[in-house]
Structure formats: C-alpha cells, structure tokens
Structure 1
Amino acid sequence: MDFKGKKLLILGGITHMIDVVETAKNMGLYTIVTDFSPTSPAKEIADKSYDVSTTDIDSLLKIAIEEEIDGVFTGFEDLNLWSAQELCEKLNLSFYATKEQLEITTNKKRFKEYCKQYEIPVVEEYFFENDFKEWDIEEIKFPVIIKPIDSYGSKGITVCYSIDELLKGYEKAISFSKQKKVIIERFIDNDYGVEMYYTIQNGQITLSAMTDRYVYSQTKESPPLPIATIFPSKHLNYFCDNLDNRVREMIKGLGIENGVVLIQSLINKDSFYIYEMAYRLSGEKHYQIVEKQTGVNLLEMMISLAINGSTFGYDITNYDHAYTPFPSCNLSFLLKEGTIDKITGLDVIEDMPQVVSYVRTHEIGDEVEITGSYFQMFIRINIVSSSFEDLSNVIRKINQSIRVISKNGKDMILTRFTIPN
C-alpha cells in the first residue's frame, strides 16, 4: 500500500517511540511527534515535532487540522490511548479502540469483572466502598497487593503484610490513580507469570505469542518487576487446551475488531489467574520477535490501521497458537539506587546476530531512585536464537558484558537472569 505523502501524528516521544517513527518513515509516511518535553528522543528523528502535551486535546486538534494529518498513533502507555481515541473521534479518523473498550481494558477492576462473565479465573480480591479506613480490613488475609485501578508500569503498587502496611499502601496507590480508586488482591508469591499476546484482524483472533514472564522483587513490599520473558511459554499446550477459547470469547465480547492485545496472568500450581490487559503495543516490543518468527510486522500493521483502518497485507492468521520455531527472550536489567557514571558492554550486544534490538531508557548522569516501578528499568533486549542452548549462551554472554557503574564505583545492576534448568 502506498503511504507516500500521508501524515502521521504520533502522541508521545519516549525512547520506545523511536522505532515507531523509523518504521513509519520507512513506510513513506511524514511523521509528526508531540508531547510536553522538548528533549523527547523520538522528536530528534521525526520530520516535525511539537512541544505540546498529549493531554491538551484542543491544541492537538489545532495541530492536526493545520497539518492535515491522515492518522494518529500511540502505543506503550495507556494514558495516550485516551487522547488518541478522543482526537480521532473529533477528526473523524480511524482508531482501533472505542472509548467503551478502553474503559474496560485500562481499568484493572472492570477488566477482571468482565473476565468473570466468561468464566476466566482471576486473582481473588477484596471489595470496599468509599473511605478505605472505615472498611472492615480485619477480614483481609495477608499478604495482599494493592494497586491503582488505572495505572501502568507498576506505578503505585505495594505488597502488604499487615494492616499498617496496607494503610500506607492505600495512600500510595491513591496518589497514582487518576480515578482515585484502588484494587486489593491476594498476593501470589511466584517468580514468574505468563503473558498471552493476541492479534485481531477483522474480527479474526490469533494467539500470536505466549511467554513465561520472570520477575524480581527487591524488597518484600516491592511489586515484582520483569527481568525476562521467554518465548514460547512452557504452559502453552495447557493454556490452549483449557483457557484459550474462553479468552477468545471474551475478546469477541468486547467487540474488538482489530489491534493487538496483551493479557497478563499469574500461575500457581498449574492454575492461571488473569489480572490485567493492555489493548496496545507493549513495552517489550513483542512484535519484533513475532516478525522474526513469522515475517509479519505487527507495528507496521498498527500504523497502517491508523492511516486507513485496514490490516490488509499483514495476515498473521496462519501463525496461530503462538507459532514460535525459534526460542526467544526479552531480557531486562533493573537498576539499584545511584547516579550512572559509566556504561559498558553495549557494543558487545550490538555485534551479536541473535540480538534483534534493544531499548535503553537511562543514560550516563541519570539519577536512579528505588521506586519499585519500571523507572528502574535500564535496558530491554530482544533476542531470537536457534535453540534454547544457544539462547542460554547468549544471555550468559550479555550478563558478562553489560555493566552500569555508579559514581561511587558500584555495580548498579540489581539482578541478572539465567534460564532455569
């Protein structure tokens, strides 16, 4: 399809968006990036940029009309989805998600309630209304995890082991919630969960990837943060036999016709517990690994969808049930507290043929704080190997190479993942 001369307005200029700008330009599109920060990295390579907040709809509308844009695109963050949807509605442009769909998929509580309609198991939760401090919290069996119903990137989340910790966790969660609402769930203490990636094209649903998501908690109160996702999941067959059909029915029930979906779950004693959904591209950039497995570029597909409302030319339906002939990994490194003084080893991973790409979100001079959120993420590396043995060797070599040193000479990397036996 010929995109030459068409204009794409991209909401958000974070590092992840560099890939979006490059892909759109390779497709022949004229790219315009906007957000409030003048130094956003994606702006440096865009054809044009504006220092306008992605929540300033009136100003965005003015830009869109003056620039005569043909489509609006965003990804990786829930917040910008709302702006993109509203903007496209006002401009009568195509957007893959409706307001009603976003109200469910970006709200942890509403999404879980929706899952229950399709007999999809979810993590047990505790319900309360209005003032949390007046609620009978003695009914709670600890440990629990408390989180904002509408945040992402593990912001505002606390694992609690007592009433006092829960009261403090509540104040933290509320401060990160736009709707000023939280959800409290039983805490399942496991070092990994499972992620399912679905692609929907004209109503046809494909399970395009499934991973085992390994996590690390730096303190008992901190939420588990990802350190690796391994493709394919060792639970793939069990999931396809027992839950896949129900999840597909749930996606159909949402009325989703096109787009990509990430569904996260915990696993305990071979039982799945669904807890969250993202109706957007994920920060792991799983689409890069899917392209290596299938030849289908889902990022291109989503950009095409933004311009003309079509996924034509990007058929992934022949690769259902997480087609993964090549073992793969999204490898992450979390950082300890400190100020970054030296980074080494990036040249090594750049020369490795198995490394598809990487996204680095911290630079020399950055001050890292202990937040228990994705702010502590230093780098995410996508790897595609010929065998699990090769994948294990690649991860070992990366572990030996990557170093982040603080100003006081200490290694800032929190933990290094190795594939379990």
Structure 2
Amino acid sequence: MTDRQKRLLILGGSPFQIPCIEYAKSKGYYVITCDYCPDNPGHKYADEYYNVSTTNLQSVLKLSRKLEIDGILAYASDPAAPTAAYVTEKMGLPGNPYKSVKILSEKDLYRSFLRQNNFNTPWYGGFNNLKEFAKSSSQFSYPVLVKPVDSSGSKGISAVNNFWEMDKAINYAIKFSRSKRFIVEEFIEKKYPQLDGDIFVYDGKIIAYYLGDQRNDVAVNPFVPSSINYPSLLPQWVHDTIKTDLQRAIDLLKIKMGGFNIEVIVNENDEVYLIEMGARNGGNCIPEIIKCASNVDMIKMSVDTCMGLEPSILEQKLIDSFYTTYVIHSNKDGYFKSVELDDVISKYVLDVKLMVQEGEEVLKFNGSNCTVGVGLFEFPDLQVRDKMMNNIEQLIKVELE
C-alpha cells in the first residue's frame, strides 16, 4: 500500500456488494472489507479483510482509525448504514448525520419522525414483548402487520388477524431483530402496486429518482418483493408527490448525500405513505437494473461520493424499454441443484447472478436471506413483459436435490 493510494472501507462482502468493490478497485482505491462472515464472496475481491461486525460501532471506528481510511460505505446493507454514519461523523469523512441514519434504520423511530412531521404514516406502536403490546392492543384494528424494528429484506414480517396470533408473530419478528424489539402497525390497503427503488442525494437534493412497481409471489410470501418493474406505470402525480415528500424528509433530517432505497404505498384514498427510507442502495441488483434502464450508475455515484468526489450522471437516457429485476427463489426448503430457464424467456435475459452454489441449503422464500439469485431482464414492450412476468415462476424454476 502506498501513501498516495486512497483507502475505502466497505461494510460487508455479500454478493450484492461485489459490483461496488469492483468499481472501487477500478478507480485505484485500496479496498478493505469487514464483517463477521469471512466466507462472504466479496472479500476475495478486496485488498484486505477484517473479521469485525458491521453493526459494532466502536470496533469499526477503531478499525477505521487504525487503517486511516479516506471513506466508508454501507452499500446495499441496512444494518451497516448507522455504523458508516457514525464513523464518518467521528472522523470527519463524507457522510450523513448519525442520528438521522439511526432514525431511518429503526422502524419505530422512523414512524415517530413521520408522525411528528405530519407525513402520512400507518398507526403503529413499538414494543418489547407481548405483555407490553397487550396494554395497547385496544388501539389497533385487525389485521395488523408485525415487523422487527431493525431488520431489512422483508425478514420477520407477519400479517395478524387477531390477538391470539400475536405471540407467534412477535416471536418470529424478534428472531430477526438485533435489538429484540418489534412494531405493530396498521395494515394499509393498496390502490396500486407498492413502489420500490433507489434515489440518489447530493448536496442535500435528490439528483436521481428511480422507483419501479413491485410484484410479490403471493403464493409463497406476500410481503417479500419478488420483482421490480421499470418504468413505473403509476400516474405521474404519484411520483411528483413522492419526490416532494422525500425532499421534505431529507431537508428535515439534514441528509447530505448517498443512495437511498425507498418503498412507498398509495392507499385507496390516494394518500402517499413513505413506508421505508433505507440509508443505502437497494439490494436485489436494483442499482444494476437502473443502470441498464437509464444509464445512471448509482454504484459509481455511491463510491465517488463517499470518497469526496462530486457524483456525475453521464448520458442519462429515458427508459425506452421495459426492465425487470427478478429475485429467483424457491417455494420450499432443500439443497440447491440448478436454475432452469425456459427458452421462452432466455432471449430477454440481460444477466443472471446466482447467490448459492450446488449443494448449498435453500430456504423457502420468506426474506432476502432466502434469495437463490437475481435475474435482470429487458422486454421490448409491455405486453411481452406482462406475459413473461405473469408466468415467471413457471419460466424460471429452482431445482432442488
């Protein structure tokens, strides 16, 4: 390592983080990765790896000071986002306020922020156990959703139809919560498909906005997104309202920069709800499909910005085809053998990234931790896209041993 070579610490080494590591290396940075999973495939692309948990604020700060890093990035990792903000604040590196990122990373804090600032938000409560919830249960009308406060990737979510189902749902949520806390929130009936995608902020302003229409494999799990379609087919006023609300939230939180993963619901009264504002780029290859569709490279922008450079958008184009990122998954547990693509859909494939190897355990699709792979597709028109995606579970099959 030379004194002239700038050092970037990337929190994590999952398959979704590999494009970020590769881009940083291509820029000539000395790339260090850390997490508590030494077998994560991203680490072999880095110059150096440390077995340090990405959620341990003090340990990552200590490592960052020891390595004299020039930038730190929690790319596509919700749990690591507060850590990156904490380190940038302590070391004076490019980043966002720790307090704000913590609010965005814990659902009860985020819902409180929304309520206090007159955004639409579901009726909710944060709790530690069933006994606590029971004292407030009369405030809720069923069905409700039960969620871990600090999990991502739709893990640990249940719909509950009566009080007697709560104990099981709470235990399931707490299983995926680092702080062992959960929220119960009102179930909102959607008028349109849920919106999901990424925005990019620089100098406190939204400079790129790409939300697509989410789809779920309801036969397996109605709460885990299985695909996102671009461009969104929702009315323009919906997106204009979302942009206005997002910018107001960014202003209030004093957010300065970076990629943000956004989830939005529009209810039957045309009210917009900012369900999630994750302080990191989306997983499931969302930045990759956005680049395919629009030529806007949020991977590049994220690395550049955290290293103190102004992000550039070169040759941005209108989305003139129909693009989809699809999460390849199984409807049952087993051991991975292969993924079979029907010839009918093969000609529309831009890329297929597998996250598991032959013989590895595969779980039924109950969260992003159950992902087998991700397919990126380009379709020539809406009719073809709908025909393919309406039958996608038959056209892309996960073979198990």
Q: 1:177 is aligned with what amino acid? A: S
Match of 1:311 in 2: 310
Q: Which amino acid aligns with 1:215?
A: N
Contact 2:212 2:229 in 1 (8 A): yes
- For residue 363 of structure 2, what is the amino acid of its counterpart? E
SS in 2 for 1:375: helix
1:261 aligns with 2:256: no
Counting aligned pairs with the same residue, the percent is 24
- Bigger shift: residues 114-123 or 73-82: 114-123
Q: 1:194 to 1:362 in 2, by over 3 A?
A: same
Change over 3 Å in CA distance of 1:54–1:126 after alignment to 2: closer
Determine which of 340, 353, 357 is the counterpart of 1:363: 357
Cα shift readout 1:135-167 (whole Å, capped 9, x = no counterpart): 152453221111122211222221111211112
Instruction: Quote the residue 1:198 is aligned against.
Output: 199
For 1:413, the equivalent position in structure 2 comes to none
| Per-residue deviation, residues 253-292 of structure 1 (Å, max 9, x unmatched) | 2111211222212334344333221111011332223323
Tell me which amino acid in the other structure corresponds to 1:283: G
Shift of 1:212: 0.9
| Alpha-carbon separation, structure 1, partners of 2:196 and 2:236 | 14
Which has the larger displacement, 283-292 or 10-19?
A: 283-292
CA contact (8 A) 2:354 2:373 kept: yes
The amino acid of 1:332's aligned partner reads V
Spell out the pairing of 1:213-232 with structure 2 (5 A cutoff). 213-218=214-219, 224-232=223-231
Give the conservation status (yes or no) of the 8 Å contact 2:197–2:282.
Answer: no
Q: Which residues of 2 match residues 169-208 of structure 1 at below 5 A? A: 169-188=169-188, 192-195=193-196, 197-208=198-209
Alignment of 1:16-415 (within 5 A): 16-57=16-57, 59-61=59-61, 63-94=63-94, 96-117=95-116, 119-125=118-124, 131-132=131-132, 134-188=134-188, 192-195=193-196, 197-218=198-219, 224-269=223-268, 270-308=270-308, 310-314=309-313, 323-345=318-340, 352=347, 354-370=348-364, 372-392=366-386, 402-407=396-401
Q: 1:54 to 1:248 in 2, by over 3 A?
A: closer
Supply the distance in 2 between the matched residues of 1:15 and 1:196 (Cα, whole angstroms). Answer: 19
Q: Deviations over 1:345-370 (max 9, x none)?
A: 47979975x54444322222222334
After superposing the two structures, state which structure 1 stretch, 239-248 or 150-159, moved more: 239-248
The separation in 1 between residues aligned to 2:197 and 2:93, in whole angstroms, is 29
Q: Secondary structure at the match of 2:353?
A: strand
One-letter identity of the residue aligned with 2:234? H
Given that 2:214 and 2:225 are in contact with CA atoms closer than 8 Å, whether structure 1 keeps it comes out as yes
In the TM superposition, residue 41 of structure 1 has moved relative to its aligned partner by: 0.3
Question: How many residues end up aligned between the 2 structures?
Answer: 396
Q: Partners of 1:113 and 1:201 in 2: how far apart?
A: 25
List per-residue Cα deviations over 1:91-122 (Å, max 9, x = no partner).
Answer: 3322x221111122112223233334554322
SS at structure 2 position matched to 1:79: coil
Contact conserved, 2:54 with 2:80, CA < 8 A, in 1? yes
Q: CA deviation at 1:401?
A: 5.5
User: 1 CA distance for matches of 2:240 and 2:66?
Assistant: 52
Q: CA deviation at 1:380?
A: 1.9
Between the aligned partners of 2:57 and 2:239, the Cα distance in structure 1 is: 42
Q: Bigger shift: 260-269 or 249-258?
A: 260-269
**Cα distance per residue 1:300-322 (max 9 Å; x no partner):** 111111212x3243479x77xxx
Instruction: Name the SS for the 2:209 alignment partner.
Output: strand
Cα RMSD (Å): 3.3
Shift of the 393–139 alpha-carbon distance from structure 1 to 2, 3 Å rule, reads closer
Using the TM superposition, name which of 127-136 and 274-283 deviates more.
Answer: 127-136
Contact 1:35 1:50 in 2 (8 A): yes
Rate the CA distance shift 1:37–1:346 in 2: closer, same or farther, 3 A.
Answer: farther
- Comparing 71-80 with 366-375, which one deviates more in the overlay? 366-375
TM-score for both structures, normalised by structure 2: 0.85
- Partner SS for 2:307: helix
Mapped contact 1:159–1:223 kept (Cα < 8 A): no
CA distance in 1, matches of 2:337, 2:250: 46
CA contact (8 A) 1:4 1:27 kept: no
Structure 1: gaps spanning 5 or more residues: 408-421
Change (3 A) 1:387 1:350: closer
> Is the Cα contact below 8 Å between 2:82 and 2:105 reproduced in 1?
no
Secondary structure of residue in 2 paired with 1:43? helix
Q: CA deviation at 1:392?
A: 4.6
**Partners of 2:5 and 2:29 within 8 A in 1:** yes
Counterpart Cα distance in 1 of 2:392 and 2:159: 31
Change (3 A) 1:349 1:33: farther
Distance 1:70 1:125, change over 3 A: closer
CA contact (8 A) 2:241 2:272 kept: no
Kindly state the Cα deviation for residue 196 of structure 1 after the two structures are TM-superposed: 5.2
One-letter amino acid of the counterpart of residue 194, structure 1 = L
